[in-house]
């Protein structure tokens, strides 16, 4: 009887029971579900961070171009002293670049130097709005301009991670002669 008992126990230990198999499958599926949810969330965060970085980079670049142009300009044509406008016109040291004009057309911030073509300062994935220049100049002082605009990432897919809008505000003063 001892040998029959041993053979019976050996046969019984060879495979998994149905309950053990179901337990392993359910634990594995829970681990896979948690891992895939984490990876999906990580991917969404990465896309959101890239979207934010692109808007901020474009905004800083536009602000730098405008402030540098104001610093290097001789005078401010428009807006007039104490006024605000949706475009900025500057007289520069280089006569061929007169006037240098910054404006907003069809969601794009542009620069036009002299008789040349208007050039976009942002890429096609970014839309600009609310471009405003305020001339804070006073008599017998170098001109000061406040620059304000809003950039929005173009969200063609309607996904939340591609939505981001930021307002940019800065100012620049003409260098004294």
pTM: 0.76
Q: What is the pLDDT along the chain (177 residues), one digit of tens a residue?
A: 566 666 666 655 667 788 888 999 999 999 999 999 999 889 888 988 999 999 999 999 999 999 999 998 888 988 888 889 999 999 888 888 889 999 999 999 999 998 889 999 999 999 999 999 999 888 777 889 999 999 999 887 777 788 899 999 999 998 865
Beta bridge partners of 147: 133, 170
State the pairing for strand pair 73-78/84-85: unpaired
What region does 107 belong to: left with phi over 0, alpha with psi -120 to 50, or beta?
A: left
What are 138's two structure tokens? 């006073």
CB distance 37 to 29 below 8 Å:
no
Give the span between the Cα atoms of 152 and 42, in whole angstroms.
23
- pLDDT for 171 equals 92
User: 3-class DSSP state for residue 43?
Assistant: helix
C-alpha distances (whole Å) from 138 to each of 23, 76, 79, 144, 171 are 79, 12, 13, 8, 15
Closest to 72 in 3D by CA, of 100, 97, 89, 92: 92
- pLDDT for 3 equals 65
Give the span between the Cα atoms of 88 and 99, in whole angstroms.
10
- pLDDT for 8 equals 61
């Amino acid at each position: 009887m001892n040998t029959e008992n041993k053979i019976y126990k050996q046969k019984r230990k060879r495979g998994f029971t149905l309950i053990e198999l179901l337990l392993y499958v359910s634990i594995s599926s829970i681990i896979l579900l948690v891992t895939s949810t984490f990876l999906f969330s990580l991917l969404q965060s990465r896309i959101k961070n890239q979207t934010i970085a692109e808007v901020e980079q474009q905004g800083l670049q536009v602000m730098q171009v405008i402030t540098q142009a104001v610093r290097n300009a001789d005078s401010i044509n428009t807006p007039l002293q104490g006024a605000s406008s949706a475009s900025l016109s500057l007289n520069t040291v280089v006569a061929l670049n007169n006037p240098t004009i910054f404006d907003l057309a069809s969601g794009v911030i542009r620069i036009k130097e002299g008789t040349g073509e208007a050039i976009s300062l942002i890429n096609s994935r970014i839309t600009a709005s609310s471009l405003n220049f305020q001339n804070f100049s006073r008599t017998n002082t170098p001109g000061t301009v406040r620059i304000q605009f809003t950039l929005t990432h173009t969200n063609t897919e309607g996904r939340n991670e591609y939505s981001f809008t930021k307002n940019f505000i800065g100012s620049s003063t003409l260098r004294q002669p």
